Amino acid sequence: MFSHGSPNRDRSARGVPKPDDVSRDRISHFSKGVIHMTATVEHSDLLSADLLIGGKFRQTSTGGAYDHINPSTGLSQASVPLAGTAEVDEAVTAAREAFRTWRKWDPVKRRRTLTKLADLMRAHADELHTVQALESGIPISMAGVLVENSLNWTDYAASAADKLSGEVVPSTPGEIFDYTLVEPVGVVGVIIPWNGPVGSLGMCALPPLAAGCCVIIKPSELAPFSASLFGKLCQEAGIPPGVVSVLPGGAEAGQALVGHPGVDMISFTGGTATSRAIATKCAEMGKRCVLELGGKSADLVFSDADVTKAAQEALGWLLVTNGQACTLASRFIVHTDIYDQYVETLAGLMQGLKVGDAIDPNTGMGPVINARAVERILGMVDRAQQQGATLLTGGTRLDLPGYMIAPTLFGDVDNSSELAQDEVFGPVLSALRFEDEDQAVEMANASQYGLAGYIHTNDLSRALRVAAALETGNVGINGGVAPAAANAPFGGVKQSGLGRLGGIGGILEYTTIKNVQIRL
């Protein structure tokens, strides 16, 4: 345990939970149904980031190499070969050749093959848990959340592979027979982020595969190992060579993939600035894109809410990805009547978190991704204090190995300030006051982002009314989280994205509709 920020006052008189009272079970929606670690995995066996092209793995490339640093230790742990333009060309050539047969596979056979992939991922859950901790610093105690999400998305996509069908179009009986075909779009470049790569593989790579597309996966050089393991499991499942390629890489590989004429579509998960360049290039080339981008999600906590539960759920977001999540609720817009109780409760819970090495099963929150992130986050913390926000707890780098920042909470934040408007992408939360419902909604919507919104209230009418008023693609009420489930749509509005992942619509994103008309 550690203490930081304001003095640790006696909270028992006001019913505020002590740090030791907080358990995984009480943050129920982050712990129920997940796969937990059952065995120790040899770490060195997982630090492989081989490229996969045309069904063959390779350890050399033309894009140079990246010295991968373990975020929990700050020490080098592997050299990662980076794909360059040449490897992208090879992967596209292999994918285009494989697409000729993969698109024609019996859909039942495709479903069975992808189901086998899901079974293999489940069998290798321990390795997937561990590799996330090593590459991204996601605590192994909570890594099961993202692995389970990925498995759910893989299961759903596999089950949908033989259920994509066209329709008969009404036409003149006896004269015209008109129908549609649902066809795969082709080769899809799948660019996934470092802050939850296993979950992103299920969300972004499986839907196009289910639709009959080939995928070229470009994981970030900051988190390349899980994608390499995924490629190996794809091969073991019987997915043909060239259907799945894995190209760890940086900007060179990403630009080559987006700009390649042999790539029919791009799926990108990441930052808004990069997405604009991708969308512009895709528009120039007439190719489609699905963009899952950032957010600055608000959690509206009304006066009738269960304060302790709402604060525990706020804490839960930090446990999963160390505050580095696009759907993270990071603005807590709290009714003035319960504001003081709420921030004291949340600050107390944050002070009780054990921060440390992600591979330690006792760690509650791990590191941020790298030294640049530490500098950027602490810069925002400093500016927030200069702009008048009240630091309630945290705000410092911890004297521990790796890139550890104390869980940080600011109070009385100005909704127009940098802290309230820009993504921090770190363990920094903001609390703001509101007086009435209209003001709360107005504050929540005063953002360039619109990925998710959250509501805590015991008034069902209010919950439904506010959910309809929030300008977001997803809303969670009293514990609902985004993405909710593999069979539900997920995506944002405004600067938070384009298109949808999840559900049958998320698979149809990777298809085209062909109309066929027969004159009888």
Of 473, 175, 479, the C-alpha closest to 299 is 479
* pLDDT score, position 42: 53
Higher per-residue confidence, 214 vs 41: 214
pLDDT in tens, 123-174: 999 999 999 999 999 999 887 788 999 999 999 999 999 999 999 999 999 9
What is the fold of 12-32+295-486?
Aldehyde Dehydrogenase; Chain A, domain 2 (3.40.309)
Domains 12-32+295-486 and 58-65+74-293+496-519 agree in fold: no
**pLDDT for the residue 26:** 31
> CA-CA distance, 322 to 407, in Å (whole number)?
9
Determine how β-strand 187-191 pairs with β-strand 176-184.
unpaired
Cα–Cα dist 280/294, whole Å:
18
Average pLDDT score over residue span 379-388: 97
Cis peptide leading into residue 483 (ω within 30°) = yes
CA distance 183 to 353: 49
Summary mean pLDDT of the chain:
91
Task: Indicate the domain borders of the chain.
Answer: 12-32+295-486, 58-65+74-293+496-519
- Residues 455-488 have pLDDT tens digits of 999 999 999 999 999 999 999 999 987 777 899 9
Cβ atoms of 303 and 262 within 8 Å: the answer is no
Question: Beta 176-184 vs 65-70: how paired, if at all?
Answer: unpaired
- Write down the residue that tokens 């304001």 correspond to: 6
Instruction: Provide the pLDDT for residue 289.
Output: 98
Specify the DSSP class assigned to residue 16: P
- Report the CATH number of the 58-65+74-293+496-519 domain: 3.40.605.10
- Report the phi/psi class of residue 323: left, alpha or beta, with left for phi > 0 and alpha for psi in -120 to 50: left
Q: Minimum mean pLDDT among 122-131, 304-313, 359-368, 476-485: which range? A: 476-485
Catalytic residues: 292
Q: Per-residue pLDDT tens for 45-81?
A: 789 899 999 999 999 999 999 999 999 999 999 999 9
188 neighbors 484 (Cβ within 8 angstroms): no
- In this prediction the pTM is 0.91
CA angle 317, 485, 140 (to 5 degrees): 45
Mean per-residue pLDDT, 8-35: 35
pLDDT for res 230 = 97
